[in-house]
Amino acid sequence: GAGVSQSPRYKVAKRGQDVALRCDPISGHVSLFWYQQALGQGPEFLTYFQNEAQLDKSGLPSDRFFAERPEGSVSTLKIQRTQQEDSAVYLCASSLSGVNTIYFGEGSWLTVV
């Protein structure tokens, strides 16, 4: 497809379980972003990649969160030992370069029970 693709679209995890969320950006897009959006809130920045380099991970809420983009294309956001407060939509976005025109995927909806 032409847009940013995320999988799974919906994930229910038991507390303490590890989850992995995948993002397939638009082909050729250099910049990739992960955001977390809780119910009723705006998206909160998590981390940013330029190609395979993770240039900013200041938004990751704890060391249970880890993101990678080893070949500069597909990215994975991993959450270890999930907790209820991790329940949110995880949005991936990509752009040719920088932030002036970024395109979001539909998000991965995570519910931790």
Partner 1 sequence: RKEVEQDPGPFNVPEGATVAFNCTYSNSASQSFFWYRQDCRKEPKLLMSVYSSGNEDGRFTAQLNRASQYISLLIRDSKLSDSATYLCVVNTHSDQAGTALIFGKGTTLSVSS
Summarize as ranges the residues that interact with partner 1 (CB under 8 A): 33, 35, 40-45, 48, 55-56, 58-59, 91, 98-102, 104-107
Q: Which is nearer to partner 1, 45 or 66 (CB)?
A: 45
- In the complex with partner 1, the residue whose CB is nearer, 18 or 52, is 52
What is the closest distance, in whole angstroms, from the C-beta atom of residue 81 to partner 1 in the complex? Answer: 25
Q: How far is the CB of 43 from partner 1 (least distance, A)?
A: 5
Q: What is the DSSP annotation of the chain?
A: --S-EEE-SEEEE-TT--EEEEEEPPTT--EEEEEEE-TTS--EEEEEEETTEEEE-TT--STTEEEE-TTSS-EEEEESS--GGG-EEEEEEEESSSSSS-EE---EEEEE-
CB nearer partner 1, residue 59 or residue 72: 59
